[in-house]
Structure 1
Amino acid sequence: MTWSAPDRQPAVNPSRPFGYREWEEAKRILLSRYPSIGYERIGDSVLGRELGVFRIGTGKREIHYNGAMHGNEWMTGMLLVRFLNEVAEALNGAGGVYRGEPVAEWLESTTLYVMPLVNPDGVELSIRGAEEGGGYSEQVCLWNGGRTDYSGWKANIRGVDLNDQFPAYWETERDRRDVGGPGPRDFTGAAPLTEPEARALADWTRSRDLQLVIAFHMQGREIYWNYRDLEPPEALVWADRFAKVSGYVPVKLSGSDAGYKDWFIQEYRRPGFTVEAGFGVNPIPLGQFDAVYEETAPIMLEGLKG
């Protein structure tokens, strides 16, 4: 199903990759059209690209979804923006009902914060190549083994994997990865939170009272819901709820540390999840976007319910 509101340009174009330019246009559309959507700039990337969080809802219960922490997983940003767009449209002119659910009612008790593009530099590099690398263009070419195809690039522009940057057994993850320096993937950096993108997300998270977070990644159609037995009892209940509406498989993960949801669970003992959307090889082809959205939108809706 391809959705667009009548006589309105959707905030995402499913026929092209979702990079920073597309994010800027989506931001313009969302903020100019929907008074129900707020926005906060929370920092800047290595290359000075804006890092920002959208807000919808007025409730005391705060939840957070983020995407595109890995450059070649830019489609997760598209999924989040489309969801935000469609929910705002439902509030604006569809009686507050989306996919048969009373989202207006839910958003009186819940506030949703959405960060579609955690890694804008890595996304731009993955989509458009080294010309988007600023002062790092020559370095990323070397780190990429001289290849001009950056479509598999996961890291930020300094060759650091942002989802290995959080202070949750970071040293264990560094030793497990055993990657000696910057590159397209799996380098943890020299220490936790050295990268401005990870640091901005961590600082912003600390500023809120988040009850639940979901980091959207790709691929595998799986839901990771635990971390070193630090998660609360309701985490598995939530994972089962997400699985029921999506068909994704809850997985009790081990042998992985230093991710955003790991750190959130460790710090707050509240439900945190990584959703591996879609199935195949990253980047997931654009032709699968609508199908992946149909799988993941019910997870995003379920999180709003409380």
Structure 2
Amino acid sequence: MRSYPADANYGPEQLKADLEALTRQHSFVVAGSIGSSALGRSIPFFRLGTGPFRWHFNGACHANEWITSLLLMKFAKDYADSYASGASFWGKSANELFARCSLWIVPMLNPDGVELVQEGITEEHPFYSELLQWNRGSGRFHRWKANARGVDLNDQFPAFWEEERDRRAMPGPGPRDYSGKKPLSEPEAAALVEFTEQHDFHAVLSLHTQGEEIYWNYRGGEPKESREWADRMAKAAGYRSVYLEGSDAGYKDWFIDRFGRPGFTVEAGWGHNPLPAENAEELYDDIARLLAEALDCAPLD
């Protein structure tokens, strides 16, 4: 991974270029789109592996957590390179993992929000006036977590959505914590739900920042293996496996509630969001070990 200065950005254009390079280099990487963002921008996905166990990872649900997209892309390239060369991958056989798992990655769920955090706003933006108002008149969007319509995408999923809306008590759009007018009102969240149901994933993992924690439970609906898997991932990365209460309407909450299968939220790194890009190399060592361990959790049959 090349070094990134603290003020470097990894946004939709960088992601597009890296994904094109990855699919050019490795013909076995299958790419596509899960749908479009609020501003009509494509939300890409790609698949690695051919195995029967269907894993899903996603990143950059929150705009100022865009470093998760960089981490996922680096992980995917290293995984693909290891498979192509027959090399070991973080102490595991990439060939064996490919044969056990089909991994579907959505590296940047919230491209509009990421662009807003990194590039700011101009008068040409479709929501220029509204965004300035929602951001309390400030032209700095470095703390922005929401999508382009001021909705927090990780409060959008139909898993006790009303309780999370009331807990957040946000009256309208803003930088964070506004749940929207109803579940799945935002195209990004709706596209991810449709994508998940279409592929009937066996397990999912959402990569966020920060805190070095893994959340694995939801209202008692998680299967018995969830804690064991979380403990394994936490040990691999030096993170903490945490039993979380008092939170609803997130993606992993909905997945556990809907399917009764393992779902995880991983809070990468430590500090204040957005974590600087210069931290990416240090973060990657932990996250790559964690994600490789996640793949290795998949049953052999």
Query: What TM-score, normalized to structure 1?
Result: 0.94
* Structure 1 gaps, min length 5: 5-12
- Give the distance between the partners of 2:197 and 2:243, measured in 1 at CA: 26
Could you list the per-position Cα deviations for residues 104-148 of structure 1 after superposition, in whole angstroms to 9, with x for gaps in the alignment? 111112100110000000000011101397301221111101111
Match of 2:169 among 175, 178, 190: 178
Counterpart residue number, 1:145 = 136
Counterpart residue number, 2:293 = 302
The percent of aligned pairs where both chains have the same amino acid is 45
Where 1:131 maps in the other structure, the secondary structure is coil
- Give the distance between the partners of 2:238 and 2:66, measured in 1 at CA: 22
- Give the distance between the partners of 1:220 and 1:44, measured in 2 at CA: 30
Counterpart code for 2:115: E
Counterpart residue number, 1:10 = none
Match of 2:190 among 189, 195, 199: 199
Deviant stretches of 4+, over 6 Å:
none
Could you list the per-position Cα deviations for residues 29-75 of structure 1 after superposition, in whole angstroms to 9, with x for gaps in the alignment? 11111112111211000111111211000011100000000000000
Counterpart code for 1:77: S
* Structure 2 gaps, min length 5: none
Would you say 1:208 and 2:199 are equivalent positions?
Answer: yes
Would you say 1:77 and 2:69 are equivalent positions?
Answer: yes
Match of 2:145 among 134, 145, 154: 154
Would you say 1:225 and 2:200 are equivalent positions?
Answer: no
**Structure 1's 160 and 86: CA in aligned 2 closer, same or farther, altered over 3 A?**
same
Counterpart residue number, 1:52 = 44
- Give the distance between the partners of 2:114 and 2:64, measured in 1 at CA: 6
- Give the distance between the partners of 2:238 and 2:123, measured in 1 at CA: 37
Q: Any conservation in 1 of the 2:90–2:292 contact (CA below 8 Å)?
A: no
Would you say 1:246 and 2:232 are equivalent positions?
Answer: no
Counterpart code for 2:43: L
Q: Which has the higher contact order (CA 8 A, sep 6+)?
A: 2
Counterpart residue number, 2:284 = 293
Counterpart code for 1:29: A
**Structure 1's 132 and 252: CA in aligned 2 closer, same or farther, altered over 3 A?**
farther
Measure how far apart 1:92 and its partner are. 2.0
- Give the distance between the partners of 1:282 and 1:133, measured in 2 at CA: 27
- Give the distance between the partners of 1:108 and 1:209, measured in 2 at CA: 18
Q: Any conservation in 2 of the 1:227–1:262 contact (CA below 8 Å)?
A: yes
Where 2:33 maps in the other structure, the secondary structure is strand
Would you say 1:92 and 2:92 are equivalent positions?
Answer: no
Counterpart residue number, 2:9 = 17
**Structure 1's 96 and 36: CA in aligned 2 closer, same or farther, altered over 3 A?**
farther
Counterpart residue number, 1:7 = none
Counterpart residue number, 2:106 = 115
Where 2:141 maps in the other structure, the secondary structure is coil
**Structure 1's 133 and 216: CA in aligned 2 closer, same or farther, altered over 3 A?**
farther
**1:96-107 alignment, distance < 5 Å:** 96-107=87-98
